[in-house]
Chain A
Amino acid sequence: MKLFGRSKKAEKPQRLSTQDFGDTPTASNRPPASVLTTSRSGLRIGRSTNVGRVRSHNEDSSLTFESSQDSDESVATLGLFILADGMGGHQAGEVASSLAVRIVANSIIRDIYLPYLMNGAPSSDQTPLTDALQGAVETANMAVHNQVPGSGTTLTCALVIESRAYLAHVGDSRAYLYYNQQLKQVTHDHSYVDKLVEMGQLTVEAAAVHPQRNVLYRAVGQGDQLEIDLHMIDLPPNSRLLLCCDGLWGMLTDAIITEILASAQTPQDACDQLIAAANEAGGKDNITAVIAESAST
């Protein structure tokens, strides 16, 4: 690597002024896609949910929140992606999942987004990211426990800062990272069957059809001593981070998920296609997918 000698500042991509496309851009006079790509910062997002073909109501909740700023100063892109799959009778499941995603979002926006928007940089008394995520999920846990007794929910949350994603995870919803033709599962399920597989007492094939495959040993709403998994991963350019519930990954093989993530034009197309595929495969549970696609370089 021979990169020494004072460098010039990296050239900024040319900014497009609105005059170039007329005062009111419409579908017909949009700039070509390639031009759009060079000026795009931030994340592209897709989100879909479907009740499936068996259940009568949808107990899944998802929430996305993205902020990216175009200005001369470099201000980080932040993205928040939350997915929860509730459980419990008498519609308690959807109340639990909805409450959990809102509380997590509220907590992270208060601890991370708002101070950052105020300072434009992480300040010396910034809440550490792990504390913010942990705190958010713990708050949701206590709220669900107190407000919707007898219910519970999975919770998978990704906070994206520039090219890194921080994940907090409880339950058997999953996060996958698709990059460079490869799909990688980021989270581990907190289900009994998964534990049995981990301990070598059950094969992956047997687990997929095990009658107790939906039983969790950790869930938001359980109250005391909730252990939360934290992950920190890289989001390389053009990668897709997928959050989904078991109604999706339980219906589709990794190969099909990979194929859809590889071929779909936009993150929204990918979400729609994943849900359609899960329904085609039976749609035995509610199906929800959230995708965050990192910017190209």
Chain B
Amino acid sequence: MGGLDTRQIHGAKSTDGIEGALAQGRVLQSRYEVLGILGLGGMSAVYQGRDKRFPNVIKLCAIKEMKSHSLDPQMRSVAIQNFEREADILATLSHPSIPKVYDYFSEEARSYLVMEFIEGRDLEAIINDTPGFLPQEQVLDWAIQLCDVLAFLHEHTPSIIFRDMKPSNVMLDKHGRLRLIDFGIAKNFQPGQKGTMIGTEGYSPPEQYRGVADQRTDIYALGATLHHLLSKQDPRVEPPFSFNERPITTANPTVSPEFAQIIMRALEYEPERRIISAEEMIRSLITLRPAASTQYGAAALNLNSSDVLPLWTFACEDEIRSTPALDKGVLYVTAYDYNLYALDASSGKFLWKYPTEGGLAASPHVHEDRVLIGSDDRVVYCINTQTGRIVWSCPTQGRIRSTPRVEFGHVFFGSDDRFLYAANFQSGRVAWKVETEGSIRSSAAISDDTIFIGSEDGSLYCLDIRGTIRWRYRSKRAITSSPVLNADNKLVIVGSQDGTVYGLDTASGWVVWRYRTDKPVISSPSIGANVVYIGSADGNLYALEVKSGKLIWKYATEGQVNSSPVISDEAVYVGSVDGNVYSLDAKTGSLRWRLRTGGPVISSPVIGADVVYIGSNDHIIYALPT
């Protein structure tokens, strides 16, 4: 399908007066209604459609149509084969940057592919619509995203070569994620095999004109795309293979020489001299990320009323409501900007990020060389800690606010779809799921062969590792707090939105003690030497005796304490909706220091090597001395 242009522009145009186009209102397969046209090419068209199987909502889709004008039956059959190949490839791929395929069918000598409708603009439109240059950080972020999806394709078995990387084939969706569109000429790669030259002049490397395409073909085209994004020089109107003569830094002095150099290494004329793989390119690009990125205009730090100075800060693009995870010198942070960030814990230097399709309210959990995150896009992702690339994903039917926990080779997490899931840690396959009567936003506590988890139905559930419910304790309101076990596993301690902190017998679910606060308890408890620390929406942080639930001390902040405290040595750390991070003496509850952030602190701290890491709704992650 050479010369095909299937740009999906924002909003569909009317099909009126377009020859051969499907009429608006036309329904295919008694299911897909044509709403308008998104793009038109020589042998195909892309329509915006609506899936009528969802009558109560408007579920949009993109319908790609292939028609062959050729009277030559052989040409026609090649075209159909190409189309089917695209369908087959796409249907098996699962990556956030690759559109999902829903359906495939033929009708009236035309073939159709029904895909996810991606709302947004393609990069070519963005280049054309941007006065001046795009910010380097923005292009760097896109470069990493594109390398990630190319690495995914190249490492797929069999390896897939995209073969047509160019700005108009990359969409920026409304969540800020790049999506590859038009897999029309993507091909399973077989070494040494020659094919016909297909690609786009200007972006394609020299060898592709000789019919050769491998991973480095895509690397070159990516280099050309990045060159175009930064230099704003369209390679289609420049002399062929002239990138060497047109240095990026000459065209655009705002680009760093290091970034330009990496791009030029992708644009080497001889494939042998090019960057070998997308994976290698990611590693080079990651080192260019600024140590603390505040380019997104996050709230400025207000240090006037703070007692400590942060060692470093890092700004995400939206609120941080979760607890960071610390593992082997790397800090993992989930933000409501849809991203999981990996930062160097000692410097705050950005290592990589993984974008999901929804806000991240749940905390990351690291196990072995993987980090697990649950997203508002209803999916739990398992990400490789080294590369930041996806290992598997596990979809559910509801938003995920529960932090995954790993035990017995399985990942346990709850979903707003009311189920507690146990998924295989290696594969993400669901071993079992158990339904409760409410969304599960609590995270599991696991001991021996027993799992404890709260539900918005108000109950704390105790299950065995087969998922059989052993007992259930009903409090009067939702249990969003995550239970913890005392040192000898006899007591499970949890807060309830009924305002009470409960100490329950792990064997029977009987209430051993309870402590009433004045407002809902959303904070999760933390246990130190015979003392349990927990916050309440009544504004207090409480220290209670583990054995009896008796009050030892409480500390009043000026906002709800929904953050979960953490203890280290003699101190306890917690955030408050009043915007402060507090460090209190663990024995007496007297104030050691506090840090004022630019927003409510719902995030909970994590401690490592004398550093406290905590996020804030001001989008910033703070590294503070203990």
* Chain A contact residues, CB within 8 Å of chain B: 1, 3-7, 9, 76, 121-124, 126-131, 161-164, 166, 230, 232, 234
Contact B490 A76 (CB under 8 A): no
Identify which of A5, A76, A122, A230 gathers the most chain B CB atoms within 10 Å of its CB.
A122
CB distance from A123 to the nearest CB of B (A): 8
Cβ-defined contact, A6 with B466, below 8 A: yes
Q: How far is the CA of A168 from the CA of B548 in the complex (A)?
A: 12
B465–A4 contact, CB under 8 A? Answer: yes
The B502-536 residues at the A interface (CB cut-off 8 A) are 503, 505, 507-514
Task: Report the bound CA distance from A49 to B513 in whole Å.
Answer: 34
Cβ of A161 and Cβ of B505 under 8 Å apart?
yes
Residue B256 lies at the interface, judged by CB distance under 8 Å to chain A: no
Chain A residues with CB below 8 A from B265, complex form: none
Q: List 13 A-B contacts (CB under 8 A).
A: A1-B465, A4-B422, A4-B432, A5-B466, A7-B468, A76-B508, A122-B473, A124-B473, A124-B474, A126-B510, A127-B511, A230-B548, A232-B505
Residue in chain A with minimal CB distance to B407:
A1
Known: A162-B507, A232-B547. 6 other contacts (CB 8 A): A3-B449, A4-B465, A122-B508, A123-B474, A128-B503, A234-B490
B509 and A122 contact, CB distance less than 8 A:
yes
- Docked pose: A10 CA to B516 CA in angstroms: 38
With A1-B449, A124-B474, A164-B507 as given contacts, are A7 and B466 in contact (CB-CB < 8 Å)?
yes
* Neighbouring B residues of A162 by C-beta, 8 Å: 507-508
- Return the chain A residue nearest B459 by Cβ: A124
CB distance from B180 to the nearest CB of A (A): 37
Interface residues of B, Cβ cutoff 8 Å to A: 408, 410, 422, 431-432, 449, 464-468, 471, 473-476, 490-491, 503, 505, 507-514, 547-549
When A and B form their complex, which 8 residue pairs have the shortest distance between CB atoms, in order from nearest?
A7-B466, A128-B511, A128-B513, A130-B513, A4-B431, A122-B510, A129-B512, A124-B474
**Among the listed A76, A122, A123, A130, which residue makes an inter-chain contact with B549, where contact means beta carbons less than 8 Å apart?**
A130
Expressed in whole angstroms, the Cα–Cα distance for A126 and B503 within the complex equals 12
B13 CB to closest chain A CB (Å) equals 52
Total CB contacts across the A-B interface at under 8 A: 78
Min distance, Cβ B401 to any Cβ of chain A, angstroms? 24
A residues within 8 A CB of B465? 1, 3-4
Q: Is the CB of A130 within 8 A of B512?
A: yes
Of the residues A4, A126, A161, A164, contact of B466 by C-beta under 8 Å? A4
Q: Is the interface of A mostly helix, strand, loop or mixed?
A: loop
Residues B513 and A129 in contact, CB atoms below 8 Å apart: yes
How far does the alpha carbon of A76 sit from the alpha carbon of B432 in the complex, in Å? 28
Whether B432 contacts A164 by the Cβ 8 Å rule is: no
User: A234 to B508, alpha carbons, bound, how many Å?
Assistant: 12
Residues of A near B512 (CB, < 8 A) are: 128-130, 166, 232
- Cβ contacts under 8 Å, B476 to chain A: 124
Residue of A nearest to B422 (CB): A4
The chain B residue sitting closest to A126, CB to CB, is B511
B449–A122 CB distance below 8 A = no
Residues on the A chain within 8 Å of B511, using CB: 122, 126-129
Q: Which residues of B contact A161 (CB under 8 A)?
A: 505, 507-508, 510
Complex CA distance for A128 and B510, rounded to whole angstroms: 8
A12 CB to closest chain B CB (Å) equals 14
A5 x B431 contact (CB < 8 A): yes
Please tell me which one of the listed residues B408, B431, B549 contacts residue A128 in the complex, with CB atoms under 8 A apart.
B549
Q: Considering only CB atoms, which chain A residue lies closest to B432 in the complex? A: A6
Alpha-carbon distance A9/B467, docked complex (angstroms):
11
Residues in B neighbouring A123, C-beta threshold 8 A? 474
Q: Chain B residues with Cβ under 8 A from A124's Cβ?
A: 473-476
Q: Is the CB of B508 within 8 A of A128?
A: no
Give chain B residues whose Cβ lies under 8 Å from the Cβ of A164. Answer: 490, 505, 507-508
The residue of chain B having its C-beta at the shortest distance from the C-beta of A6 within the complex is B432
Q: How far is the CA of A131 from the CA of B515 in the complex (A)?
A: 11
Q: Contact check, B547 vs A230: say whether CB atoms are below 8 A apart.
A: yes
Least Cβ–Cβ distance between A11 and chain B, in angstroms: 13
Q: Which residues of B contact A129 (CB under 8 A)?
A: 505, 510-513
CB distance from A291 to the nearest CB of B (A): 21
Chain A residue numbers with a CB within 8 Å of B514 are 128
A166 to B431, CA, bound (A): 37
Q: How far is the CA of A161 from the CA of B509 in the complex (A)?
A: 10
Cα distance A232–B510 in the bound complex, in angstroms: 13
A234: nearest chain-B partner, CB-CB: B490
Residue of B nearest to A134 (CB): B548
Q: Write out the residue numbers on chain B whose beta carbons fall within 8 Å of the beta carbon of A126.
A: 510-511
- Residues of A contacting B471 with CB < 8 Å? 121
CB-CB under 8 A from A76, the residues of chain B are 508
Contacts of B507 in A (CB 8 A): 161-164, 234
Query: A1 — which chain B residues lie within 8 A by C-beta?
Result: 408, 449, 465
Per the bound structure, the CA–CA distance linking A130 and B476 in Å amounts to 20
Contacts of A130 in B (CB 8 A): 512-513, 547-549
Q: Chain A residues near B432 (CB, 8 Å)?
A: 4-6
Q: Note all chain B residues with C-beta closer than 8 A to A166.
A: 512
Q: Which residues of A contact B505 (CB under 8 A)?
A: 129, 161, 164, 232
CA distance A7 to B449 in the complex (A): 14
The CA of A165 and the CA of B143, in the complex, are separated in Å by: 63
In the complex, which residues of chain A have a beta carbon less than 8 angstroms from the beta carbon of B548? Answer: 130, 230
Residues of B within 8 A of A3 (CB): 408, 449, 464-466
Question: Which residues of chain A are near B449, meaning CB under 8 Å?
Answer: 1, 3
CA–CA, A1 and B408, complex, Å: 7
Inside 8 A of A163's CB, which chain B residues have their CB? 507
Query: Closest Cβ of chain B: how far from A239's Cβ, in Å?
Result: 14
